């Protein structure tokens, strides 16, 4: 499926990955409807950071996907739906598990119901590597067992299975993309890389949680390329596809590399406030990305060092977006 000229919906469009995906879809010539969560400030999230010539070509709609009527309205008339709308913060899911489940499971159910009702030609559902829990083997392929080590992970497992059930029960053309840890410009300080960068630029100490867990990090334009290829490929329907670099690095090593690139004398230390419950912390993530290569021809293109430097430059040029003295959950 060529996306040029297609009527496309992106839920969660005000988020980090969603905003980059909107930008890419406009470049590809799609007719884009971008859904963001309503707020009284008329704040459209990271959509506000897109170039004016991109925003002018996007129709922004607001609402709450956990409301069935909203999902039915925003999906109507769309040929392709990229479903990214979710509450994604793991520490917040400890504090508000009900809200997390409502947004992620009920929101996904409503999107699938709406896509079925309106005859949507392709739904790309967004999963997360967190559904695997701590790796039982590496690299992690799509057959790896699922384990909900946080309320967030459990909610995404539920959402993934809702999407799967609509394909198996009703023949809905759903494909599930499972990104590993994505990073890049416009990411909030909730995520580990901008957390490290924002502190390293202005403080003498970078405060983090556990330093030994490892993560598989993929630059955002590569992740977005995965979304596009999943949507375009007929072979992706009914599949779950990992999108990750097949490279892992510990949080401690990551912090050291960022500090070196920033070029300041900064210490790194662990604080109890930022540590996750021991059994909830996912210890190791490394993607087996062979299915993405085989089905989609997808491979990451941006080097890790290049990606980190782009984030450092972004945070340095947007200091007001980051509160280095706060723990962002």
Residue 69 lies in a domain: yes
pLDDT interval class at 161 (50, 70, 90): very high
Which residue range(s) make up the domain with 96? Answer: 7-183+219-243
| Domain of residue 13, CATH code | 3.40.50.720
* Measured distance CA(90)–CA(280) in Å, rounded: 10
For residue 139, cis peptide bond before it (omega within 30 degrees of 0): yes
Residue 173 lies in a domain: yes
Residue 280 lies in a domain: no
Residue 76 lies in a domain: yes
Residue 94 lies in a domain: yes
Q: What is the mean pLDDT of residues 217-227?
A: 98
Instruction: Quote the mean pLDDT of the chain.
Output: 95
DSSP-derived 3-state class of residue 38: coil
Question: How far separated are the first and last CA of the chain, in Å rounded?
Answer: 38
Active-site residue, from 94, 137, 152, 327: 152
pLDDT interval class at 93 (50, 70, 90): very high
* Measured distance CA(43)–CA(21) in Å, rounded: 18
pLDDT tens, 171-214?
Answer: 999 999 999 999 999 999 889 999 999 999 999 999 999 999 99
* Measured distance CA(264)–CA(129) in Å, rounded: 32
Residue 317 lies in a domain: no
Residue 327 lies in a domain: no
Residue 274 has pLDDT above 90, yes or no: no
Strand pairing class (80-83; 122-126): parallel
Instruction: Say whether 152 is catalytic.
Output: yes
pLDDT of residue 42: 82
Number of domains in the chain: 1
Distances (CA, A) of 69 to 63, 109, 114: 10, 12, 9
Whole-structure pTM value = 0.95
Residue 197 lies in a domain: no
């Amino acid at each position: 499926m060529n996306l040029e000229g297609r009527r496309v919906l992106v839920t969660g469009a005000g988020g980090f990955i969603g905003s980059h995906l909107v930008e890419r879809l406009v470049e590809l010539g799609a007719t884009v409807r971008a859904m963001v969560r309503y707020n009284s400030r008329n704040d459209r999230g990271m959509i506000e950071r897109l170039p004016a010539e991109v925003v002018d070509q996007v129709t922004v709609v607001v609402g709450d996907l956990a409301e069935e009527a909203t999902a039915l309205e925003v999906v109507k008339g769309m040929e392709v739906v990229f479903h990214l709308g979710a509450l994604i913060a793991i520490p917040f899911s400890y504090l508000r598990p009900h809200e997390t489940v409502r947004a992620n499971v009920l929101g996904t159910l409503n999107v699938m119901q709406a896509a079925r009702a309106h005859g949507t030609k392709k739904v790309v559902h967004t999963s997360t590597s967190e559904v695997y829990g701590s790796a039982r083997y590496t690299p992690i392929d799509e057959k790896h067992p699922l384990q909900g080590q946080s309320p967030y992970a459990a909610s995404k497992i539920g959402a993934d299975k809702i999407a799967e059930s609509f394909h198996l029960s009703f023949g809905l053309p759903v494909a599930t993309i499972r990104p590993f840890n994505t990073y890049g410009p416009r990411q909030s300080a909730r995520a580990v890389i901008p957390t490290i960068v924002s502190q390293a630029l202005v403080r003498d100490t970078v405060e983090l949680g556990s330093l030994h867990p490892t993560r598989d990090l993929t630059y955002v334009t590569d992740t977005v390329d995965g979304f596009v290829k999943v949507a375009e490929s007929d072979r992706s329907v009914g599949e779950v596809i990992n999108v990750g670099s097949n490279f892992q690095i510990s949080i401690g090593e990551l912090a050291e590399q960022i500090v070196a690139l920033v070029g300041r004398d900064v210490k790194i230390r662990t604080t109890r406030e930022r540590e996750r419950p021991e059994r909830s912390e996912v210890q190791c993530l490394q993607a087996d990305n062979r299915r993405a290569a085989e089905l989609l021809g997808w491979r990451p293109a941006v080097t890790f060092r290049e990606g980190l430097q782009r984030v450092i430059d972004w945070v340095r040029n947007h200091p007001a977006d980051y509160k280095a003295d706060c723990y962002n959950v």
